[in-house]
A and B are shown apart, each in its own frame.
Chain A
Amino acid sequence: MIATLVRRLWLVPVVLACWELLARAQASPYLPAPTRIASWMYERWFSGPYVLTEEAVDNFVPSLVRVVGSWSVAVVAGVALGVAIGRVAWLSDYVDPLVEFGRAVPPPAMLPVFLVLFTMGTQVQVATIVFGVVWPILLNSIDGARTVDPLQLETATVFGVPARLRLFRIILPSASPKIFAGLRLSVSLALILMVISELKGSTDGIGYLLSTASNNADMPGLWAGVVVLGVLGFALNSLFLMAERRVLTWHRGARRTA
Chain B
Amino acid sequence: MTSTATLAGRGRTSPSRARLAKYLRHATGVAVFLLAWELAGRTGLISWLPSASTSLARVAQLAADPAFLADLASTLTAAAVGLPLAVLVAVPVGLLLGTVPVVEEMTRAIVEFLRPIPSVALIPLALFFFQPEINAKVALIVYAASWPILINTLYGVRDVDPVATETLRSFGFGSGAVIWRVSLPSAAPFIFTGVRLAASITLILAISVEYVVGGAGGIGAFLIQASTGIGADAMVDVIATLVWAGLVGLAVNTLLLRAERRLFRWRHA
- Taking Cβ atoms with an 8 Å cutoff, the residues of A that contact B are 7-12, 15, 30, 89-90, 92-98, 100-102, 104-113, 115-117, 139, 143, 146-147, 188, 191-192, 194-196, 199-200, 207, 210-211, 213-214, 217, 219, 222-223, 225-226, 229-230, 233-234, 236-237
Contacts and interface: CB of A to CB of B under 8 A. Distances in A.
11 contacts: A8-B108, A92-B6, A94-B29, A98-B33, A115-B224, A117-B48, A196-B212, A199-B211, A214-B127, A233-B117, A234-B112
**Chain B contact surface mostly:** helix
Given A115-B227, A199-B211, A106 B204 contact: yes
B29 A93 contact: yes
Interface stretch (B88-96, B169-177, B243-251): B243-251
B116 A237 contact: yes
B13 interface: no
Interface string B198-242: 001001100110011000000110011011000000110011011
Q: Name which of B108, B110, B249 has the most chain A CB atoms within 10 A of its CB.
A: B249
B113 A7 contact: no
A195 B208 CA distance: 10
A192 B110 contact: no
Contacts of A8: 105-106, 108-109
A211 B106 CA distance: 34
A93 B109 contact: no
Which 8 pairs from chain A and chain B are nearest by CB? A233-B116, A94-B29, A104-B249, A214-B124, A112-B227, A104-B250, A93-B25, A105-B246
Contacts of A115: 224, 227
B124 A94 contact: no
Contacts of B219: 109
A104 B253 contact: yes
Interface of B: 1, 3, 5-6, 9, 22, 25-26, 28-30, 32-33, 48, 105-110, 112-114, 116-125, 127-129, 200, 203-204, 207-208, 211-212, 219-220, 223-224, 226-227, 234-235, 238-239, 241-242, 245-250, 253
A101 B29 contact: no
B30 A97 contact: yes
A139 B1 CA distance: 9
Contact of B121 (A10, A100, A106, A229): A229
Given A94-B28, A102-B246, A112-B227, 13 more contacts: A12-B113, A30-B129, A93-B3, A96-B29, A109-B241, A112-B224, A192-B120, A195-B120, A195-B121, A207-B121, A210-B121, A214-B124, A214-B127
Given A105-B245, A109-B245, A116-B234, A222 B124 contact: yes
B235 A113 contact: yes
Nearest to A140: B1
Contacts of A90: 25
A98 B26 CA distance: 9
B118 A229 contact: yes
Contact of B6 (A9, A146, A207): A146
A17 B187 CA distance: 36
A101 B128 contact: no
